[in-house]
């Protein structure tokens, strides 16, 4: 017997009957089955995996992408395209997750999450069909990456809240641990996937998201259920505007601050950069003032009265900055020095850098679920704090390594760093999400994601600036002396040495031979002997030449990262022990926390 045809559907319409049955099966008053929580975990984990992978997948594949659209990313006028390909996605993710979490609280977390999967799928298709070349092609990719980030933000802003609703408190840490560690591992898996796919075709970097996002869209619409009642409210338009513009201007100022300005290696003296930093900070202060005055704020500052929520987010912000610095510095270290010294062509280093960084991802994947499970039994403070201490020790270990290190020890330190971050991230997320009442979980998830995504975006400006400052003091003289010693005319050597260190960093970051990049424009390589040209463009000349200045900059970076990890550990230890907030409606200003375990 066929299913009844719903009102309004054509008689005998199988589609109408199927749609009616589907709507009936998805009614909110029909409680989900006992296996629903695992469906929610698998779908939301797929969502955050593809969202975070796409945040990093273009980093490794940028050389292939720009070659594919016929654009030199290292030309002075094109460095902005390169930066915005990376930072546009991170900027949107940092700015929009709070409001999208708030919308999930108001209109349904699953509804916003499902729409995010659909937007992400459409943007993935558009990215793979870029019809333009050169600057137009780059702008097409940047704009659709922003749209893709909008969809990805809808996924990440609501996934933790959906899981917190679906799982009981005794299993919540395990579920959130799997979800969070998958999200973090996705950042590093994206590096590996980008390297592998860019070898096939630059469009394949975006193709891979299409079947995954379409499958996830269909699956989420068919399987996910609204298990919480939406809380009616109004959108805080003034708060949204000041936050979005303030955060956007601030992060844009940081983005352009790492680019050279005038005769300086960085742009921190650029009046536009200074104006962006000051203006962004003023708007964010205005945002904080506005949020204390409106009836239904976007960013519920009252939640920071909960010690576990405030301490957990502070620790997450500092850890995200340190983790982002680690990711970029390891890529430059491997691609610019270690891999060429060991016989790898510069063009092949992006792929192999991703491969040699796998111990870091392995550490995430092992420690995350285990620490999430154990934190359900013994509390989050012990595991989160101990994990951050392990992270700090691994940074100090990396700081002690020589530039041309033994890979076994390097891999062990990466594994240790991954284990420490896994120990921290899962319990910390569970602690943050479990410390607020159920009706505030969407906005709490968005606020947590904002701190994490902002930390990743800030890390680029912070650590690139630290590295450039370290290189600027010694790289020019080292480079000029090394080039003249191998037959390069003094004028050409001086010109190459005077170029901003950030160009050299980007060259290694993109898998280009930096010396070839510095000298080919003036035809210098054609004026030296074949033997000298072979040495200059070989695997070992540049790595050995810059190993001293680079190690100096690396010491500054890893020293700061270790300090951030230790401060994060202190914040984590001060969170207090708790079981979580009462699962009942209550004003954010009266958020209550259960007693310590």
Mean local confidence (pLDDT), 352-369: 81
pLDDT at 15: 36
Tell me the per-residue pLDDT of 403-455, one tens digit each, with 9 for 90 and over.
889 999 999 999 999 899 888 887 887 788 777 776 676 677 777 777 877 78
Alpha helix (H) residue ranges in 10-35: 14-25
Tell me the per-residue pLDDT of 260-319, one tens digit each, with 9 for 90 and over.
777 676 777 888 888 888 998 899 899 888 888 887 777 777 788 888 888 888 888 888
- Angle, alpha carbons 48-51-54 (nearest 5°): 145
Three-state DSSP class for residue 548: helix
Residues whose CB falls within 8 Å of the CB of residue 264, separated by 6 or more in sequence, listed in order: none
CA distance 216 to 465: 39
pLDDT at 33: 62
Closest to 509 (Cα-Cα) out of 185, 76, 54, 79: 79
Multiple choice CATH, 36-235+298-472+552-579, 2.40.50.140, 1.10.10.10, 3.90.1310.10, 1.20.1250.20: 1.20.1250.20
CA distance 510 to 353: 11
Q: pTM for the complete prediction?
A: 0.74
- Angle, alpha carbons 127-133-134 (nearest 5°): 110
Give how far Cα 550 sits from Cα of 204, 474, 501, 553, Å.
34, 9, 11, 5
Give how far Cα 89 sits from Cα of 84, 92, 96, 229, 289, Å.
8, 5, 11, 31, 28
- Mean pLDDT computed over every residue of the chain: 77
User: Among 76-80, 165-169, 300-304, 586-590, where is mean pLDDT lowest?
Assistant: 586-590
Tell me the per-residue pLDDT of 26-79, one tens digit each, with 9 for 90 and over.
444 455 666 788 888 888 888 888 888 887 788 777 777 877 888 776 666 677
Encode 40-71 in three state secondary structure. HHHHHHHHHHHHHHHHHHHHHHHHHHHHHCCC
pLDDT at 250: 83
Encode 376-419 in three state secondary structure. HHHCHHHHHHHHHHHHHHHHHHHHHCCCCCCHHHHHHHHHHHHH
């Amino acid at each position: 017997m066929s299913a009844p045809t719903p009102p309004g559907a054509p008689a005998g319409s199988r589609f109408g009957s199927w749609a009616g049955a589907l709507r009936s099966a998805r009614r909110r008053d029909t409680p989900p089955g006992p296996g629903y929580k695992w469906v929610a975990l698998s779908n939301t984990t797929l969502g955050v995996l593809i969202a975070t992978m796409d945040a990093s997948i273009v980093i490794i594949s940028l050389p292939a992408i720009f070659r594919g659209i016929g654009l030199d990313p290292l030309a002075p006028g094109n460095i902005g395209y390169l930066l915005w390909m990376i930072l546009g996605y991170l900027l949107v993710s940092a700015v929009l997750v709070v409001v999208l979490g708030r919308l999930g609280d108001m209109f349904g977390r699953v509804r916003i999450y499902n729409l995010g999967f659909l937007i992400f799928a459409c943007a993935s298709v558009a990215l793979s069909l870029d019809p333009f070349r050169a600057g137009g092609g780059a702008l097409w990719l940047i704009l659709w990456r922003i749209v893709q980030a909008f969809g990805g933000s809808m996924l990440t802003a609501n996934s933790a809240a959906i899981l917190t609703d679906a799982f009981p408190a005794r299993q919540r840490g395990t579920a959130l641990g799997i979800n969070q560690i998958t999200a973090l591992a996705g950042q590093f898996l994206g590096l590996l996937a980008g390297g592998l796919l860019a070898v096939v075709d630059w469009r394949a970097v975006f193709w891979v998201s299409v079947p995954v996002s379409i499958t996830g869209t269909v699956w989420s619409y068919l399987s996910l259920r609204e298990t919480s009642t939406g809380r009616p409210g109004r959108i805080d338009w003034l708060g949204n505007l000041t936050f979005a513009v303030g955060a956007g201007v601030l992060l844009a100022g940081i983005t352009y601050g790492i680019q050279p300005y005038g005769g300086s290696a960085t742009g921190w003296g650029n009046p536009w950069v200074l104006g962006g930093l000051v203006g962004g900070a003023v708007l964010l202060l205005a945002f904080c003032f506005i949020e204390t005055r409106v009836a239904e704020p976007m960013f519920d500052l009252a939640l920071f009265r909960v010690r576990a929520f405030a301490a957990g987010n502070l620790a997450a912000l500092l850890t995200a900055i340190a983790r982002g610095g680690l990711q970029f510095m390891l890529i430059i270290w491997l691609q610019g020095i270690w891999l060429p010294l060991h016989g790898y062509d510069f063009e092949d280093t992006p792929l192999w850098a991703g491969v040699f960084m796998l111990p870091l991802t392995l550490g995430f994947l092992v420690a995350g679920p285990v620490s999430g499970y154990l934190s359900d039994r013994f509390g989050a403070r012990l595991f989160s704090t101990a994990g951050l201490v392990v992270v700090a020790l691994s940074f100090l270990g990396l700081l002690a390594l020589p530039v041309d290190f033994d890979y076994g020890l390097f891999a062990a330190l990466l594994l240790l760093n991954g284990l420490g971050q896994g120990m921290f991230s899962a319990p910390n997320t569970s602690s943050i999400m479990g410390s607020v009442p159920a009706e505030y979980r969407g906005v709490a998830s968005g606020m947590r994601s904002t701190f994490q995504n902002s930390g990743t975006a800030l890390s680029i400006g912070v650590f690139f600036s630290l590295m450039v400052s370290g290189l600027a003091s010694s790289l020019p003289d080292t480079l000029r002396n090394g080039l003249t010693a191998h037959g390069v005319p003094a004028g050409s050597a001086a010109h190459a040495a005077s170029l901003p260190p950030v160009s050299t960093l980007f060259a290694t970051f993109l898998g280009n031979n930096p010396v070839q990049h510095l000298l080919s424009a003036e035809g210098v390589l054609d004026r030296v002997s074949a033997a000298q040209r072979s040495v200059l463009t070989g695997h070992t000349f540049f790595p050995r030449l810059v190993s001293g200045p680079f190690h100096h900059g690396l010491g500054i970076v890893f020293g700061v990262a270790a300090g951030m990890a230790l401060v994060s550990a202190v914040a984590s230890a001060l969170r207090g022990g708790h079981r979580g907030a009462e699962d009942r409606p209550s004003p954010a200003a009266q958020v209550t926390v259960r007693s310590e375990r």
